[in-house]
Chain A
């Protein structure tokens, strides 16, 4: 089985984001990059499927900046076999990224049996790429999956919707699935895994190699700014049991009369 996993490299969740000079993106000079957390579930799922299907290979594909290759190295240290890196700016839009991923998968010469992605990247939070890729590749797909079972070519997945309700889908491979937290517990890369990953093949391509041009950009961002800070709120000390009733009465009263939310 040829399994592809699409990963994105994003700033660590503890990053304090600062807009860059011309407001077209954020300052990326001193950022710690990590694999997009939702993509870790996709990599793990790919490795579980590989383990259950002898002779499978897992190829990770990423579109983005090439200064740091943390995300692909982590995926290979976890157990992926090889990587494809398509060099691009870090703020490419979803349509261009999906087109580049399709181009890279087509160019690999392997016919994909299963393509896994994280449900969303935690940088631009668009939740678009897996669905765009599926439409471009004309493959069936389900997003936001929290459960996966396979029986031959048939795949049964659980998709999470509002309020924790689940839709159970049945579909056949080849297909594209976008993983959510809860589907599995991603393994940590072991030290031997990290050493081995350094020798695994990583092919580097340009956007031109995969057929993407500047005309493919659909979404343009400008005026990046920090959200307005709220004025300081009111703080009440209720560590002492004697104050608790009074403080809570006051806060609940303010919620009604001042904030008017109750």
Chain B
């Protein structure tokens, strides 16, 4: 059995769902969870139900908000005092920034954004997409331990059954050390929507949206089904949508349960970024558009006609 620590980022006091996906997949290993700051009893209970033997609450000065140095110093200090073989976490914005720093403090290797993994004996073997998912490869780590791994949210799925462990709480003091790059201010996003990389449903618009105002019809349908709105590179480069909305090889790689592509032809680099979506719906006037080769349900038609009808149909079945 491998000895694994799962670091969970918390958001408004809640653990990230990807933490439970990872815990489910780690069944059979010895697994502890670490958070920075506090965690209420209900959250600890959920972690225990998913197999956490210990829940470490790491506390110290200057850790109330994220800083690359503070978080990586604090975790480095704590992990050095333990004997973990692997340290895993979800591939969130924070982890993508912090984990390579933490791994390097151990001179250790890191596998980014794995979509699946297993243990061959005590050794980790992961699967990760490269070239934005145009291909997949097996990934192994070598060199000093612990080894570090981030797992893409939504890729593993939540476990159907879980084996509980004791979930014993341990509070540990940690040091943030010197923080030279500190957050001065946080500007909240205009929408309170889930990020594209974590969204369960995405509606994306392409060049055929014609302008930024027309994205409002996608926003309206998104409101009905709780979706996040994305865009193709063509739409972003034409100024119809902001760069943080871009899905594709030079934007975000996503894998929601449902991806609805509206007026997107399906350039290779876009397909690469969304092909792992579980169900894909494409709406396009061109019956030969490449997007239809990846669509589970393709509608050859004008998005400006189809989307409003679809919004009403979703309303009907959800009411």
Contact = CB atoms under 8 A, between A and B. Distances in A.
Interface residue SS majority, chain B: mixed
Contacts of A132: 100-101, 103-104
Contacts of A226: 134-136
Given A169-B184, A259-B279, A127 B96 contact: yes
B210 interface: no
A141 B181 contact: yes
B244 interface: yes
B244 A26 contact: no
B118 interface: no
A52 interface: no
Contacts of A56: none
A59 interface: no
A126 B97 CA distance: 11
Contacts of B243: 146, 180-182
Contacts of B184: 156, 168-170
Contact of B191 (A144, A163, A181, A218): A163
Contacts of A22: none
B317 A94 contact: no
A245 interface: yes
Interface in A213-262: 215, 217-227, 230, 232-239, 241, 244-245, 247-249, 251-256, 259, 261-262
Given A168-B187, A255-B258, A256-B317, A17 B135 contact: yes
A248 B310 contact: yes
Interface in A131-165: 131-132, 134-136, 140-144, 146, 156, 158-165
A19 interface: yes
A93 B137 CA distance: 14
A156 B281 CA distance: 42
Interface in B88-122: 92-94, 96-98, 100-101, 103-105, 108-113
Contacts of A169: 181-184
Contacts of A247: 299, 301, 306
Interface of B: 66, 68-69, 72, 92-94, 96-98, 100-101, 103-105, 108-113, 129-143, 180-195, 197-198, 201, 225, 236, 242-246, 249-251, 253, 257-258, 267-269, 275-276, 278-281, 285, 287, 292-302, 305-306, 309-310, 313-314, 317-318
27 contacts: A122-B249, A125-B131, A132-B104, A140-B68, A140-B181, A160-B93, A162-B92, A162-B197, A163-B195, A164-B245, A168-B187, A169-B183, A175-B181, A181-B251, A220-B139, A220-B140, A224-B137, A226-B136, A227-B134, A233-B292, A236-B300, A244-B306, A245-B309, A247-B306, A255-B258, A255-B297, A261-B279
- Nearest 4 pairs between A and B by C-beta? A218-B109, A238-B301, A162-B195, A140-B180
